[in-house]
Each structure stands twice: as C-alpha cells, then as structure tokens.
Amino acid sequence: MLEIKNLSFAVSEADREKEIIHDLSLTIEDGKFVVITGPNGSGKSTLARLIMGIEKPISGRILFDGEDITELDITERAKRGISFAFQQPVRFKGIRVQDLLRLAAGKNLTVSAACAYLSEVGLCARDYIDREINASLSGGELKRIEIATLLARRTRLSVFDEPEAGIDLWSFQNLIRIFEKMRAEIKDSSIVIISHQERILKIADEIVVLSDGRITRRGRPADILPGLIGRAAPLSVCEKLQ
Amino acid sequence: MVQLDAIQKRLISEIADLHSVPEGAYNFRANSRLAGRNTTANIDIVSKDDGSGIDVRIRPGTKNESVHIPVVISETGIKETVYNDFYIGEDSDVVIVAGCGIDNCGGKDSEHDGVHRFFVGRGAKVKYVEKHYGSGDGRGKRILNPVTECYMDEDSSMEMEMEQIKGVDSTERATRAELKSGARLVVKERLMTHGVQNAVSSYQVDLNGAGATADVVSRSVARDDSTQTFNARITGNAPCSGHTECDSIIMDRGRILAIPSLEANDVDAMLVHEAAIGKIAGDQLIKLRTLGLTEAEAEEQIINGFLR
C-alpha cells in the first residue's frame, strides 16, 4: 500500500518558490489500478516522480507498506519494490535491449525470457534483443522497451508516466492487456498510471483528477468520466482536433 | 613450445583472450625474447635480420586463418621498440591479433613501442585486433607507444579494433593509412584512462583513390585526473567518403581535447566529422537507479556499454 500524506513540492523560479504540489494526500491500496489525470501542468508527472524519489518534497511523508520512504533515495525505493516507466525513455550508447532487461530483472536473464518480455510489448524479439538503446530506435520502440523493463522487474508498485504517448500504431488493447496481466501475475501489485487517454481511464479501479497540484476529484470511472469527457483533459491531440 | 609464467599467462589472457596456445600462426614475445612461434603453409613469420622485429607474410588467397602476435613484459625497466611488417597477399581474408600487456611491479619504467606496418594486397580483407593492458603496483610507469601504418591496395578492406582500457600510464598512438581506389578502412578505438594517465591518439587517413572509404570512430572515457588528446584527420584526394567520430565521457577532473579535422582536395570528396564530450547524462543514471542499481553500479554499466 502506498500512502501519500500532506505532500508539497516546489521549484525555484526567478527568485521565488513556485509550489507545484500542494498538501496532497492519497492512498493507493494493494491490488488497485489507479489512473491520475488532469490538465497539462497540473502536477501529474511531478507526483509520479515524487513517488519514485526522483524529486524530493518540501514537506509531507510517503509510506510504502507502512514504511516511511520519504528519505529513501531512488535506488532504495526501487529495491523496496517500486518501479517507474519514464514518459520520455532514456537512450544509452552501447547498452543493448537485452542488457537493460537483464538489469531490470536483477538477475541473469535467458535470451528466451528476455524475448518473452519483448513479445509482450509487441516487438519482434529477434530484431530487437541485440539492438543498442540509442538514437537508432524510434520514440515508440523506446516506449515499448521501457514498458518491457517494468514487466521484467515485477514489482509491487509500478508507476507509468503517460505510457500511451508515442505508441499510437500499437493497439491500446495490448497495452491494457499488459496492465491486466501485471495485476494478475504479481500478487497484491498496484499500478499507477499518469494518462489523458479515455480508454485507459475507463479500465481504472479509480480515477484521481489533479488540478494545480491538488486532487479535485477521485472515484470510480463511472462516476468521474462523465464529468471529464468532452473536456480537454482526457483527450488526445487527435481527438481534440476532431 | 611457448614457455610463459603465471603473470605472463594472465597478461596474454587479458590482451588476446587466449588461455592456451592458439590455432594457426603465432609469435609470442616475452620480456624482449622470442617465447614461441608457429607458422603455417600459408603464413610465414621470420625475424628481421637485424633482430628489430618480424616479417609476417601471408600468401595470396589465404582464407579464414589467423595470426596472433602478443607481447608481454613482466620485468621492470624494459624499454624496446619493435618493428613488425605484415605483407597480406591479394584476395586473402585473415584475422591478426596483436596486443601488449605490461606488468610492472618494480621501480623502473617499462616501455614497449610497437611499429606495425600493413601492406594489404588488392582485394584482401583483414581484421586487426589490438589490446593494451597494464598491471602491477610498482612505481615504474607502463608505457606503450604504438605506431600503425596501413598501405591499402585497390579494393582491399581493413577493420581495426584498438582497445586500451586499463593500467597503461602513458600512451601515444599514431595511426596512418593510405587507401587506393575502392579500399575501405574501419577503425574502432576504445580508450579509458584513470589516475594521472595521459593518452594521445592521432590518425592521418589519406583517401587517394576513387571510391575509397574510411570510418574512424573513437569512444573514450577519462576519469580521475587523466588527460586525453584525440586528433583525427581524414584527407580526401579523390572522389571518396570519410567519416570520423570522437565520442567521450568525462568524469571527475579528467580532461579531453578532441581535434577532428578534414581536408578535401577533390570536389567529390565527401567528408564528415563529429565530436562530442560530456559527462554521464543525469537521466541515464536515474533510469538505471530506478531498476535498483546504486549510482556507482549505474555508472559502471553506462561506461561498460559505452566502451563495448
């Protein structure tokens, strides 16, 4: 269980502190699939980075399975069982896809096991396993490899920052199937997704709506979605253009 | 038969991945003396009359054969310059593995300067692998100053992998190549310096014939207080294409000077250079830490990958 208590975060901007997250409290129960949504600049990605320890709060506490992890760094949180998929995955010269999957699994991974993770995300394993994670991979390919690293990690809490961005050509059904499979296979595992996508919002156990660093609404999709649909927040760029 | 002690065997395994006597032709040199030699029907190795080095002659048409010429130094205070010439026959296809390992536990400097000349015949294909390695905790320095010259005939090709990852205090590498028409040169250099080491690597590649191509790529890491200079020049004297790239990671108080340069003397010469120096990107460290690695482990993975 993840408990966020009275969390605040600020950045320095032109000689003053600008608060991005204000006194935010949120509990994510075990086995839950929670989607955090809200307009651009509402603090969604910042909240995800605070959970992973990439950003440090100015006040408030974060508890994971009852342990206060506020002062723990990224590595220690990762070892406790939190994983994070970046909105913009990082490129590495020389590190191959199989190397990253092996590091994610934290053990020697057979080629066939690594291939299985790639197949899950719709990549032909044979073509990718030896590829370097460098500029030769497209944004969409990187994004899928990023998701595969979380599959390999098998942690109790997985945080995805806009996983759907850049994978338009791959079906949402597959992405959703992956999330459902993760829940089924890892006991008591929770998934937190930052997303605007209506199709992802629809399958959530709970939707949390952020605005200006505060939770404005939270509840089941049936209760929350009617108020969101038709507004800008949950729509993709294409949908907005239509 | 090859006679090597434990230190020499360890050096050999570091520089040539050899754990026993290799198949094919070889010439082992240990502490300035010949320690073993084998020749084959197609590959002959003879000492130069004046004792300054060896001539390796590969018959035309020799395919899928290899030559190993490792050098190990385990006594302190040795300083030697060795001249090795390789005559690679037309249409042959061979692998040449060279390399030098120095273990210096003493107080005097040990230095090996290998001057290698390659005369690559028409249509021949050569893969050349060279690894340098140093160990030992003596005050004496481990110094390697290799000179490599390639004279490439028409339609020949040469792939060079040169690696110096550990333990060499001072190195000055000079590589020169002259390519005739249709010849192709690919160089992959990997360099890491630490402590107060200094490394200089310079290339002069002359593309003299139509259709000649060269690709010189160096990746290096400078840690601690070490310094590096990379100086690569490609000259296009004909319709040709050349590319040079220097990509470096700088850490601690390391310093790197990269001087890629191009000279075009023909309107159809297409030459490109790229150079980048920077520290390890913060987001790379963060990504690997989210997988459970410590910062030091993340750094090690990034550098290992970069120098692959």
C-alpha neighbours within 13 Å on the C-beta side of residue A34: 24
- Tokens read off for B7: 């230190």
ipTM (interface pTM)? 0.91
Of A78, A95, A96, the CB nearest to B290: A78
Residue A168 pLDDT: 61
Does residue A116 belong to the interface with chain B, where contact is any CB pair within 8 Å? no
Least confident residue range of B78-87, B131-140, B149-158, B294-303: B131-140
Question: Binning pLDDT at 50, 70 and 90, where does residue A169 land?
Answer: low
Question: Binning pLDDT at 50, 70 and 90, where does residue A242 land?
Answer: very low
Tokens 């990762």 correspond to what residue? A78
Model pLDDT for residues A95-127, shown as the tens digit of each residue: 999 999 999 998 888 888 889 999 988 888 888
Number of A to B CB contacts under 8 A, please give it.
Answer: 59
What share of chain B in percent tops pLDDT 90? 70
Chain A closest-CA separation from residue B258 CA (Å):
19
Chain B closest-CA separation from residue A202 CA (Å):
28
Does residue A130 belong to the interface with chain B, where contact is any CB pair within 8 Å? no
Contact residues of B toward A, CB < 8 A: 219, 247, 281, 283-284, 286-295, 301-302, 304-308
Of A54, A74, A93, the CB nearest to B305: A93
Model pLDDT for residues A12-66, shown as the tens digit of each residue: 888 888 899 999 999 999 999 999 999 988 999 999 999 999 999 999 999 999 9
Measure the CA–CA gap between A34 and A148, rounded to whole angstroms.
20
Residue B162 pLDDT: 92
Measure the CA–CA gap between B26 and B2, rounded to whole angstroms.
10
Question: Domain containing A147: what range?
Answer: 2-241
Integer distance in angstroms from the first to the last C-alpha of chain B? 34
CB contact under 8 A, B284 and A92: yes
Q: Which residues neighbour B86 within 8 Å (Cβ) at sequence distance 6 or greater?
A: B56, B58, B67, B96, B116, B117, B118, B119
CB < 8 Å to A89, chain B: 287
Q: Is the pLDDT of residue A238 over 70?
A: no
CB contact under 8 A, B290 and A96: no
CB < 8 Å to A90, chain B: 281, 283-284, 286-287
Number of structural domains found in chain A: 1
| CATH label of the domain that carries residue A79 | 3.40.50.300
Average pLDDT, chain A: 89
Q: Which residues of B124-158 are buried (b: 16+ CB within 10 A; e: fewer)?
A: bbbbbbbbbbbbbebebbbbbbbbbbbbbbbbbbb
